[in-house]
Amino acid sequence: MWISEIDENVDFYILLVHTGDKNVAGMSLVDFQTMDARDIEKAEEEGGLYSSHVLIKKDAGDSGRNQILIEKVPGVYLGSIKDYLTWVCSDPAFHKVADDDDGSPKSYRAIFEIDGYQSRTISEAIAGGTLKDVEFVSIEEENVDGLDEEPLIDEVIHEAKWSINKKIPENRINQLFNWLREQRPTDNAKMFVRIKTEAGQIKTTEVDPNNDQMLEAAFIQNEFVSDFDEPLGARHAEIRDDLVEKMSEKAI
């Protein structure tokens, strides 16, 4: 991951972030009229490339936290941006020196945290969309006697998936989920819910089956941007003002 451009406007710092992966294969394209396909091979030193605009609001406001908007593409998401910015600021050039509690000078570096902005609750999303499926996954460690003095450790994975693919009446959602959590393969199984929204987005989130208010958990806010005169590509050679404008509108 790297940054090729940094710009700013009145409200935001604008970063053009790129992520590359040499471990991807070449791509294939198909003509939907003739169904003829062709392959695009990649050279040994080439890899997949995606670009993302990242907007960081200058004014943190009363919250003390800066709003951030990320153009979502493969390889660029909240966790990867957080880790990348933390790695960038590990450079000694960005360290700050301040006195510690004993009055001695100490070097400090920035650590980033990025939290998702709360969207609708799971219950609200289910009521307005289609419940695709619910999956339980648990991983347990099992001691296996080996030839050495120390036993070996194996991971045992338990999975259970319930395919639903239906709109659930609002007055039946709690009843359904109370029944579903009774179907857990183990008491410590994690519970994942997949929903298709009215706009056609597929959203997956983890809920806590041990919490009676599990359906009050919220999705991370995601928004569509569309209606571009020039279609968005997988990568950007430079910052696109039209995309920055549409992302800024979403921030409001």
Q: Residue 199's pLDDT is what?
A: 74
35's tokens: 């169904």
Angle among Cα 162, 166, 172 to the nearest 5 degrees reads 85
pLDDT digits (tens, 9 = 90+) for 69-102: 999 888 888 888 999 999 999 999 999 999 998 9
Residue 25 predicted with pLDDT over 60: yes
Residues 6+ apart with CB under 8 A from 36: 30
238's tokens: 């430079």
pLDDT digits (tens, 9 = 90+) for 154-211: 666 778 888 888 888 888 888 888 888 888 888 888 888 888 877 787 888 788 888 7
Residue 147 predicted with pLDDT over 60: no
pLDDT band at 129 (very low <50, low <70, confident <90, very high): confident
Q: Residue 195's pLDDT is what?
A: 87
Please state the pTM of the whole predicted model: 0.65
Average pLDDT, the chain: 86
Q: Residue 248's pLDDT is what?
A: 94
Closest by CA position to 58, among listed 14, 16, 13, 89? 13
